[in-house]
Structure 1
Amino acid sequence: MVKQQFGLTSEDTEIKVGQTPKTAIWKKNKAVVWYYPAKERKFEVPLFLIYSLVSKPYILDLSHNSSMIQAFTKNGYDVYLLDFGVAGYEDKDLTLDDYISKYIKKAVQHTLRHSKANEITVVGYCLGGTLATIYAAVADEPIKNLILFVTPVDFQQLPLTASWRNMLKEERGTIEKIIDHYGIIPPTFIDKGIKLATSPLPIKPYLALLEHADNTQYVDRWKRFQKWTSDHVPFVGATLKQLIFDLALDNKLVNNELLINKTRVNLKNINANLLVVSTTDDDLVPEELTVSIMELVSSRDKTYQLEKGGHATLAIKGRLPKSLDDWLSERSIS
């Protein structure tokens, strides 16, 4: 009924998103690095954005005036976005090691070369922030600033009982066989999993829509956002196994036990200027999954901020919070 009343039909799949002008500067397999030039470049240090492996990154460029990328370019930053693309069955054996060393590392190198910059700011959003954290701990490239938005790091804080954790560990062989059977996890499974994790939240957007039904700008943004929330991508099986067992259950990232290409990921190796941002109403990645990183890095310049909003609020505001703009502008000149 609600979907019909507000025109949420199959035609909404044609809603245009990601319209900020961009150019591809590097491609590998399904991945692309997109370059978004500043409206008027004011800062020497470019931004390199890493988004999640679960959803498509256009949430960072949802629409005119609802785009984090556009906000950055308007404020004078050159922006580069690593879009991992849509994995196929042939990608089922890609691991975290591959994503860090063959994709993120190579993409940063090409970004530095393209921008002719001496340093870079790495920005991670959600699971992309987890990848950014791992990369920053093993990187040889000159990372001046590391910014993490709503990023899961300390998986010990997941709301799993001891019995659930033990059961998952005991059934590891069965779980791995199921994942191997699929090779990559279909988007519908990802969608159901997220809805289950955030239940009963899926009804809240429709209640908000009814409340703002006479606001055409709100309804338009709502449609775009709902398109994104259901536009998940397949999840690579080999990487999913590492996330479940190495990160979620064994918490190897926080415990400095994670290995990437046989190199130990020690968070003490991170000494870039660090900004960590959580939001007050994030039911997907509450701040207790994030804040622990502040005590685990070697960064002397580190700031933690709690902003009002939900998991994707900062991505679609269309402007940078003043605290973020002030922090970043002071640290974006080589």
Structure 2
Amino acid sequence: GPKQRLFTGIVIEYFFAGGELVLLGFAYMIRSWQLLNTALAILSIPFLFFYFVIPESPRWLISKGHYEHAERILRRIAKVNGCFFDSNAYGHLINEEKKREALYPKKFHGLKTLLQSKIMIIIAINMSLQWFVQNLVFYGVSQNTGAWLANPYIAFFAGALVELAAYVVVHLVLNRWGRKIPYCTFVFLFGLFAFFVVPIQMLMPKDSPVKYILMFIINVILKFLASGSYAIIYIYANELFPTQGRNTGIGMCSMVARFGAIIGTLSNDLLARVWAHFPIVVFGTTSLITVVFATICPETVNKPLPETVHDIDRIGVTWPCWKSKTLTLEEINNMADSDEFMSLRNPFKENDIL
């Protein structure tokens, strides 16, 4: 439901940081990279069996017309959670879904789903850019955490703790301040602090202890901000893509993001040959550029997830960063076939589902 969207999105990041700590333990005990890769590969084998345990998304099944399959999964979820499954509410949901299909009979699949409207294209391109830059920045900064301290294992451990702290802060603020303002704040501050490296390196003596301390503080702040924006964009993008094209949209963003991660790690090698801190300046510059484009995205907190591209068209894009389009009563009613909208409008009792 809408109340659990943030938790289900951020809990992935907690395990991500936890995985870094597990990796650190393995790397400390296994010093051969061949044996380390083998051990990590063996550790991942049990996760293959999750395919037989994790159910398909009921929301996705309903959007594809697999109503009986979705009902079976929802009934199973209700049984496991000790909740009451409201058949009437589910029947109403299906009737509304069928009305929507009759209203928009032409269906698109794959990438064509994201090319149905100008607003959807703008959001898709914008999110791809945001993911590209966030992976460029996150992995570029994270690769240098081993150089924070003399002992690379302790430095990596400190970097993982800073990352975990960023996820906790994101978890605390996203439902209070929304998605867009915290994201824009994290990205803008990253760009700002990245440029502090220039005066510190240019104006302070080379072997100054104060310079070393200031650079350590800047690196910790950059890691914190990069981790925070990295976590938010995963949640934000999932709430901006409609159900009928969410898999395609996130898949496209993830593919583009991999190029960002590759370029980020290469930048630490190639650009550092020009100047040791040149990569940080580049990361800061790209962050300041992308935050401008992020301001046109609509706010998504406490709003029903869009089911179709037509829902995205109703939401639209916005400017400036803190102002979102207000839906009219008619537009809200047009989105009333969303099961999430119904849960926002009429919260169920504690032991009810659907």
> Structure 1-normalised TM-score?
0.24
Q: Which has the higher contact order (CA 8 A, sep 6+)?
A: 2
> Structure 2-normalised TM-score?
0.24
Q: Higher helix share goes to which structure?
A: 2
Report the structure number with the largest CA radius of gyration: 2
